[in-house]
Amino acid sequence: EPEVTQTPSHQVTQMGQEVILRCVPISNHLYFYWYRQILGQKVEFLVSFYNNEISEKSEIFDDQFSVERPDGSNFTLKIRSTKLEDSAMYFCASSPGLRTYEQYFGPGTRLTVT
């Protein structure tokens, strides 16, 4: 069964450093998402991406964040200058359509900023 994959599973970085989190969505899906989950808290929407551009973003997704689909398979989330409060689990998701379609989630990347 096709699945969303994410690398790395765990990333440790120093405050102020740039990180890139990578995702490979399910191949025939059209919509791509990033969510984050701070330890012990709810899953929060960051950004959605369709047709090679951002379709929606939350207030969390500020200028320090960017997303890209550099080729036909990868979908990346970049944090330019990490802060301690960026420490969280980051989930990538993809779906074949909007609203009525479930989103398929990857296993997540645990980002630890020291």
Partner 1 sequence: AQSVTQLGSHVSVSEGALVLLRCNYSSSVPPYLFWYVQYPNQGLQLLLKYTTGATLVKGINGFEAEFKKSETSFHLTKPSAHMSDAAEYFCAVSLGDMRFGAGTRLTVKP
Is residue 110 within a helix (H) or strand (E), and if so which, with residue range?
strand 109-113
Is 35 a binder of partner 1 (CB under 8 A)? yes
- Name which of residues 1 to 20 contact partner 1 (CB under 8 A): 4
Burial pattern 3-42, b for ≥16 Cβ within 10 A else e, equals ebebeeeebebeeeeebebbbbbbeebebbbbbbeeeeee
Q: Is 98 in the site for partner 1 (CB under 8 A)?
A: yes
Binding of residue 24 to partner 1 (CB under 8 A): no
- Asked whether position 68 contacts partner 1 by CB under 8 A, the answer is no
Q: Which C-beta is closer to partner 1: that of 15 or that of 98?
A: 98
Q: Is residue 53 near partner 1 by the rule CB under 8 A?
A: no
Q: Is 108 in the site for partner 1 (CB under 8 A)?
A: yes
3-state DSSP call for residue 24?
strand
Question: 3-class DSSP state for residue 79?
Answer: strand
Among 77, 91, 111, 113, binds partner 1 (CB under 8 A): 91
